[in-house]
Amino acid sequence: MSPRRATLRGAERTSIDGDAADVLVCGASFAGLALARELAGLGHDVLLLDRYEIGERQTSACAVPTPWLDALGIHEARRSELPHMSFTTPHGSARYRLPWTWTSFDYRTLCHELWDQCGDARFVTAKVQGRTRTADGHVVHTDRGDVSAPIVVDAMGWRRTLATPHYQPPDAPLSRGLEVHPDVDPATQDDALDCWIDRSVIPRGYAWRVPAGGESRVGVGSYDPHDHVKAPTQEVARRLDVDAVRYQGNWFPHRLRPAAEDGVFFCGDSAGHCIPVSGEGIRTAFLFGIAAAREIAKVLDGAQTRDEALVAYAAFSKTRAAFFRRLLLLQRVMPRIPPRLLTLGFKLVSPQPVVDRAFGWYLAAADAEMALRDRPVRRASAPAIAAD
């Protein structure tokens, strides 16, 4: 197979029926792009599919710990660096200086910066509808035809499209979020990521404001998928005196799911790799996309079979299971803590050594170190892929 880049657009949306690749990555957002970037230069045919053009649909406030942007070589997309976080309840407020910083970014630019690092990978817009397992891999069915590959990745977000059954809200372990993106004067922006826990706004969840250059990203997340978030988001925008404009939102998982199932790799939200309580899922999508790519690279290199890679990747995902479990417990408990006690708790965390320890632990569960070390050796020739 000769690697080539072929981004099909608009009128070029011809049939892709019968196309084949060594690695088929379904979903070209955080997890899918991190995975494809990791496989760049290995001499194999990597094909990404997404229903939208790369970077077209932002569904997040796009704040990530800055070390991840450094590790991935992302520069242009950065908007605001935020060294502080504040937590406010109706009874008081606490403001922390973190041992690391958040950086908000522009989604489209970040996706294009990642895509620029994906080497000869190909990208095609197509809506994935399902898959059939074959003797040597999978046939993935799309609205533009069938594509086959020995290695298939589901990086399509919370729905887990390539598994059966899919996740369907509201009766699924999903949270939901909605935000507005009003323009603001950058000079008036604070250097903090602000959180509000106010049950009169959202009974089980929180509200946030993420400064991003000349834009403010103001939203509400609910841990209970039955609770609506539009009116709460409008209420928070009203309280902050910003326009409720440019809405965007999505569901996001809060419980870990199997990272490998029926021969498919699941990365990012499709595997539940979104941190409970915070709903932070970008750096974990990067982390697990890279981890899956590392195992896939060994298959492409002839060093292990595809089935061995699936087992190793699932085991890596499980190394973070205790972290996800603890935060899911906190997510369940937090809405039941009396508000005054919660406020006291935020104040008790305020001393700098406590902040450093708590947020250091939180970062360490998915730190950027892995993105920097042990990248697969880039090579031109491609050994055969062993299925089992």
Ligand X SMILES: Cc1cc2nc3c(=O)[nH]c(=O)nc-3n(C[C@H](O)[C@H](O)[C@H](O)COP(=O)(O)OP(=O)(O)OC[C@H]3O[C@@H](n4cnc5c(N)ncnc54)[C@H](O)[C@@H]3O)c2cc1C
Residues that bind ligand X (CB under 6 A): 26-32, 49-52, 57, 59-64, 127-128, 155-157, 161, 177-179, 219, 249-250, 252, 268-269, 274, 279-282, 285
Helix (H) or strand (E) holding 23: strand 23-26
Phi (first) and psi of residue 22, to 5 degrees: -75, -40
Q: Which is nearer to ligand X, 44 or 181 (CB)?
A: 181
| Amino acid letter, residue 272 | G
Shortest Å, Cβ 28 to ligand X: 6
Smallest separation (angstroms) from ligand X to the CB of 54: 8
Please, which residue, 192 or 385, has the CB nearer to ligand X? 192
Least distance CB 386 / ligand X (angstroms): 28
* Closest distance to ligand X from the beta carbon of 346 (Å): 20
Name which of 220 and 310 has its Cβ closer to ligand X.
Answer: 220
CB 353 within 8 A of CB 361: no
Q: Which residue is nearest to ligand X (CB)?
A: 281
Q: How far apart are CA 103 and CA 100, in angstroms?
A: 10
Identity of the residue, 28 or 277, whose beta carbon is nearer to ligand X in the bound complex: 28
We find the least distance from the C-beta atom of residue 118 to ligand X, in angstroms, to be 14
Contact 367, 117 (CB under 8 A): no
Are 232 and 201 in contact by the 8 Å Cβ rule? The answer is yes
Distances (CA, A) of 387 to 67, 68, 152, 248, 279: 36, 33, 12, 41, 35
Q: Which is nearer to ligand X, 51 or 97 (CB)?
A: 51
Q: Which residue number, 141 or 379, has a Cβ lying nearer to ligand X?
A: 141
The nearer residue to ligand X, 155 or 355, going by C-beta atoms, is 155
- Angstrom distance (rounded) from CA 271 to CA 285: 9
- CA 306 – CA 318 distance, rounded (Å): 18
In the complex, minimum distance from the CB of residue 127 to ligand X, in angstroms, rounded to a whole number = 4
Q: Is the dihedral of CA 60, 64, 70, 75 positive or negative?
A: positive
CB of 11 to ligand X, least distance (A): 20
CB 178 within 8 A of CB 249: yes
Nearer to ligand X, 50 or 385 (CB): 50
Bridge pairing between strands 122-125 and 46-50: parallel
Quote the CA–CA distance of 138 and 147 in Å, as a whole number: 8
What is the CB-side half-sphere exposure of residue 28 using CA atoms within 13 A?
32
Report the nearest approach of ligand X to the CB of residue 384 (Å): 29
Backbone angles phi and psi of 343, in degrees to 5: -60, -45
